Amino acid sequence: MQLDIAVPMLPARNIEQSIVFYRALRFVVTRRYPDPAPDGYAVLRRDALELHLFAWPQAIPENSISGCFIRVADAQAVHREWSALGFAAEGAPSVGALGRRYWGMREFTVIDPSGNLLRVGSPISGYAE
């Protein structure tokens, strides 16, 4: 278990639906509380990335203010992989367009079925961190 990290805890309107979405992004469920259950809590991992989902049936995707930033080594490669899955470019769920940001990051957005915003990015070489 890696220590000294922050792990996002995101609300899931429907845990099963969210798990299906994140499995498409190659996340693996490593824990369920209670296990198994249609609600509760789930821990998902993809390589060194870890996300936690908690059941929040009253979540309204259009009104969500939840999210996190995921820093990856190569945002372009991750975007290529995830955009090939056929999700819409906006709405919930979606994988947005890749772009260069003035703050020195190459980024794109992902919105999960519960409306959580995941901003995924990697530093553009030549920019100070």
Before 34, cis peptide (omega within 30)? yes
Q: What is the pLDDT of residue 105?
A: 94
**What sign results for the dihedral spanned by CA atoms 103, 97, 29, 54?**
positive
The DSSP code for 124 is P
The Cα–Cα gap between 44 and 50 comes to 6
Report the pLDDT value the prediction gives residue 98, as an integer from 0 to 100: 97
> Which residue segments constitute the domains of the chain, with CATH numbers given?
9-123 (3.10.180.10)
pLDDT digits (tens, 9 = 90+) for 88-119: 999 999 999 999 999 899 999 999 999 999 99
How do residues 2-40 score in pLDDT, each as one tens digit? Answer: 678 899 999 999 999 999 999 999 999 999 988 666 679
